[in-house]
Chains A and B, each alone.
Chain A
């Protein structure tokens, strides 16, 4: 790595098909996979009779699905150099709006569309404020966090809105199983797959990395940085709308208290997954692995009957350790 201009000695790198960067990415995920395996081993050792059961694994995935969908959107926003603190509140608002008696009168399809539109619309407002109103993302989405939660409380009159029996198609997403796995887990998987494709195979994904990595270079290269920034927040809102459908299915309710502190779990998952908060770098797979680590910890604490305070402490430590390890990785591998 002495002089990058010398071609000769580095030619052997060129032979390796995926290139050195992809290899680095894989090892980064390798660390996350190892962490997951370690956590699974802990589960097998401490609760051999409960942990490896199908029902427990399915419940882990169901638990992960809601935040998982949000995490996909958050990954885009953070790679694009922003932050979205309003995700939990946006999901709550979408769930309340979709379960008002007025909306429920139109049936489950309209409820789902309503949740998605409310989520996307909220995200779009964030995006407009940030991209064209030039508010700092932290502030704009913090304001939305507070305001959306408030609007949800006002709409629902602080009451939990139950999904009517005639609209049970929504609830079916969590009760109907395909190959033993609830439908909402498939929705989660589909969102992850679509997110991966969007980030890695489309111009939208390329622009996301460009806008987050060097907005000035992106602007001067003829990319509409503002419009793209706006779209990123709209995408995050869209994910919140989908997440709202999932949480309605799981809890059979819409409520202004849904998704409390989800923004922290989503951001933590993205960070553990190796996405830089400064933007320009990160992967969907990493974020999902980060989320699964988090969910697994929760599961282990519940299975072992430990209290939730210790669980929070453990999660805090995991975030710090993950980031410290990644920083060392970067330093070692950086040329």
Chain B
């Protein structure tokens, strides 16, 4: 039904898709697998008409098609259900379902007809209990999922793309999702299903396509009986070479962080670990496994029960000011949204975390500020080496170095790094790795989160493997390999 051949999509500095083939049959559930950054999201966006491919062809029912915009894609019969639901919370269920193609005459919406039609679609999905007039913002995540699907159905979609639809759902809700998927496929609708959970793929999937580094590495594997080991090695056999700095020769120092029984409902449960001075501890796990949330809780930026102790004294929740003063620092996941003042200079960004250290009675010592920024720019080799440049003119890797430089001022004891190499090109990564190891060598404890398993393994001294909010393995990084960690993450089997 759908045949994609040689799809290439180039972004500035990255070749996100580098020759992807996909072949989906009518009435099947086709699973798309790949690690983070393999190109799944980009591929979906090409199908949804959000991105235009630079090369390659898309055939649908034997005819060559082009989805120039999201509306084109909908007209072709493609519907996409994104991981983050794209519903308007303030509108009713019915209004959401028919958003963009309202049953209207001369601009006036016929609310009765819309509500009846929405009720019919919801009934078809087996959810007559969701009232078309209800406000979407008040629905549960599972019900929102159903509304999203109803929207796809209302378009008479013949190909539905689902990006991790089960991520927000509880176990019994997943069963219901699968029932709906089976009904759809029985009517000849094709489903492209993306999930990291292998057991789901085995249950609902017909065939599997594996992506790696923007290429298709396997097409049409049988979903039920391809061995896990084969799938994992297809996903991991990578070309990219990582260069990691050598680990510290001396054993780590005193304990700087002790976390015990840390729990946050819906995110993670009963997490305990410690970080010692000069040690890098890595958290491996998928997006949504609770990694970032654990960092937030340790930083005091998230409500959680349990205890977090920084060099012998408990960390108070919600008191980031105090946490920073006592020597913790966070390089957050979303660099631009959570860490940078884009309009400001590199200097202003570096000194943001330690302004009082540069001031006497509030008066900034600008000469010293400048000198310190200059020193760090040179020490971390931030390029171009001009601390007065607006930070938005720097590349991602250099921006990240500036964020790290922020926490090199003052006496830091513990740094939390959330995806420190996201959006950083391969060459610059090696430099960042060296910088991070250098921090640890200065006696700072580092807690590292990364979606890239080789990065966690290569950089850390110890590793915690997370799956759905619980720690399923804790041990020396050198005792693990990528294969085993991925096995644990995807299959849930502790080593």
Instruction: Digitize A1-35: 1 where CB-to-B-CB distance is under 8 Å, 0 elsewhere.
Output: 10111110011011000111100000000000000
The reply on A221 being an interface residue by CB < 8 A is yes
CB distance from A73 to the nearest CB of B (A): 18
Is B332 interfacial (CB-CB < 8 Å)?
Answer: yes
Given A7-B383, A217-B338, A221-B353, CB of A335 within 8 Å of CB of B320: no
| Residue in contact with B362 in the complex, picked from A203, A213, A217, CB distance below 8 Å | A203
Q: Is B343 an interface residue (CB 8 A)?
A: yes
Residue in B closest to A16 when the chains form the complex, CB atoms: B388
Is the CB–CB distance between B321 and A206 below 8 Å? no
**A210-B343 in contact given A13-B386, A220-B332 (Cβ < 8 Å):** no
Contact (Cβ within 8 A) A20 B343: no
Query: B352 touching A218 by the CB < 8 A rule?
Result: yes
Taken residue by residue from 292 to 304, chain B's Cβ proximity to chain A (1 for < 8 Å, 0 otherwise) reads as 0000000101000
B383 touches A5 (CB 8 A): yes
Nearest opposing residue in chain A for B299, CB measure: A220
Q: Which residues of A contact B342 (CB under 8 A)?
A: 213-214
Q: Write the nearest CB–CB distance from B157 to chain A, whole angstroms.
A: 37
Alpha-carbon distance between A216 and B406 when the two chains are bound, in angstroms? 15
Residue from A206, A223, A281 in contact with B343 in the complex, judged by beta carbons closer than 8 Å: A281
Judge whether A219 is part of the interface by a CB distance below 8 angstroms: yes
Which one of B339, B384, B394 lies within 8 Å of A14 (CB-CB)?
A: B384
**Are B323 and A209 within 8 A (Cβ)?**
no
A213 to B301, CA, bound (A): 20
Q: Which residues of A contact B340 (CB under 8 A)?
A: 214, 217
Interface residue A168 (Cβ < 8 Å from any Cβ of B):
no
- Residue B473 at the A interface, CB < 8 A? no
Tell me which residues across on chain A come within 8 A of B320, comparing CB atoms: 219-220, 222
**B338 to A207, Cβ gap below 8 A?**
no
Within the complex, the shortest CB–CB distance from A232 to chain B, in Å, comes to: 15
Contact, CB under 8 Å: B386 / A206: no
A204 to B364, CA, bound (A): 9
Assembled-state Cα–Cα distance A156/B226 (Å): 85
Contact A14 B386 (CB under 8 A): yes
Contact partners of B348 in chain A: CB under 8 A: 206, 209-210
Q: How far in angstroms is the closest Cβ of chain B from A119?
A: 22
B339 touches A220 (CB 8 A): yes
> With A21-B388, A201-B366, A219-B320 in contact, do A206 and B383 touch (Cβ < 8 Å)?
no
A198 to chain B, nearest CB (A): 9
- Complex-state Cα separation, A224 to B301, whole angstroms: 12
Instruction: Verify A220–B341 contact, CB threshold 8 A.
Output: no
CA distance A87 to B390 in the complex (A): 33
Interface size on B, residues (CB 8 A): 44
Q: Is B131 an interface residue (CB 8 A)?
A: no
Q: Scan residues 173-218 of chain A and give those whose CB is less than 8 A from a CB of chain B.
A: 201-204, 206-207, 209-210, 213-214, 216-218
Residue of A nearest to B325 (CB): A222
If A202-B363, A213-B341 touch, whether A5 touches B395 (CB-CB below 8 Å) is: yes
> Which A residues are in CB contact (< 8 Å) with B345?
19, 21
Separation of A329 and B111 alpha carbons in the complex (Å): 47
What are the interface flags for A86-120 relative to B under an 8 Å C-beta threshold, 1 for contact and 0 otherwise? 00000000000000000000000000000000000
Q: Which residues on A sit within 8 Å (CB–CB) of B392?
A: 335
Whether B389 is near chain A, meaning CB under 8 Å from some CB there, is yes
Interface residue? A80 (CB, 8 A): no
Known: A5-B394, A217-B352. A202 touches B364 (CB 8 A): yes
Inter-chain contacts of A10 with B (CB < 8 A): 384, 386
CA distance A5 to B13 in the complex (A): 11
Enumerate chain B residues within 8 angstroms of A207, measured Cβ to Cβ: 355
In the complex, whether B398 has a CB less than 8 A from a CB of chain A is: yes
With A4-B394, A213-B344, A223-B321 as known contacts, state yes or no: A11 contacts B352, CB within 8 Å. no
A7 close to B338 (CB less than 8 A): no
A residues near B330, Cβ cutoff 8 Å: 220
Q: Which residues of A contact B384 (CB under 8 A)?
A: 4, 6-7, 10-11, 14
> Is B324 among interface residues, defined by CB-CB distance under 8 A?
yes
| Distance (whole angstroms) from the CB of B101 to the closest CB of chain A | 33
* B180 CB, min distance to chain A CBs, angstroms: 37
Determine the chain B residues whose CB is within 8 A of the CB of A206 once the complex forms: 348, 351-352, 355, 364
Decide: B359 and A202 in contact? CB cutoff 8 A: yes
Q: Does A121 contact B (CB under 8 A)?
A: no
Q: Are A217 and B363 in contact (CB under 8 A)?
A: no
Q: Does B385 have its Cβ within 8 Å of any Cβ on chain A?
A: yes
Q: Is the CB of B344 within 8 A of A209?
A: yes
0/1 interface trace, chain B 393-405, chain A, CB 8 Å (1 if under)? 1110110000000
Closest CB-CB distance, B87 to chain A, in whole Å?
23
B337 beta carbon closer than 8 Å to chain A: yes
A280 within 8 Å of B (CB atoms): yes
Cβ 8 A contact of B386, one of A19, A210, A221: A19
Q: Is B237 an interface position by the 8 A CB rule?
A: no
Task: Tell me if B356 counts as interface (CB < 8 A to partner A).
Answer: yes
Given A10-B384, A222-B321, is A216 in contact with B338 using a C-beta cutoff of 8 Å?
A: yes
Contacts of B394 in A (CB 8 A): 4-5
A69 to B145, CA, bound (A): 54
**CB-defined contacts of A4 to chain B, threshold 8 Å:** 384, 393-395
Please, which residues of chain A bring their CB within 8 A of the CB of B332? 220
A206 to B301, CA, bound (A): 22
Residue in chain A with minimal CB distance to B362: A202
Is B362 in contact with A223, judged by CB distance below 8 angstroms?
no
- What's the least CB distance linking A317 to chain B, in Å? 28
What is the CA–CA distance of A221 and B340 in the complex, to the nearest angstrom?
Answer: 10
Which chain A residue shows the least CB distance to B392?
A335
Closest-CB distance, A239 to chain B (whole angstroms)? 18
Contacts of A18 in B (CB 8 A): 388
Q: For residue A221, which residues in chain B have a CB less than 8 angstroms away from its CB?
A: 324, 339, 352-353, 406
Q: Chain B nearest CB: distance from A76 CB in Å?
A: 14
Whole-angstrom distance between the Cβ of B317 and the nearest chain A Cβ: 14
Contact status A20-B363, CB under 8 Å: no
- Listed from nearest, the 4 A-B pairs whose CB atoms lie closest are A222-B324, A19-B388, A5-B395, A7-B384
Which positions in A face B, CB cutoff 8 Å?
A: 1, 3-7, 10-11, 13-14, 18-21, 201-204, 206-207, 209-210, 213-214, 216-224, 280-281, 335
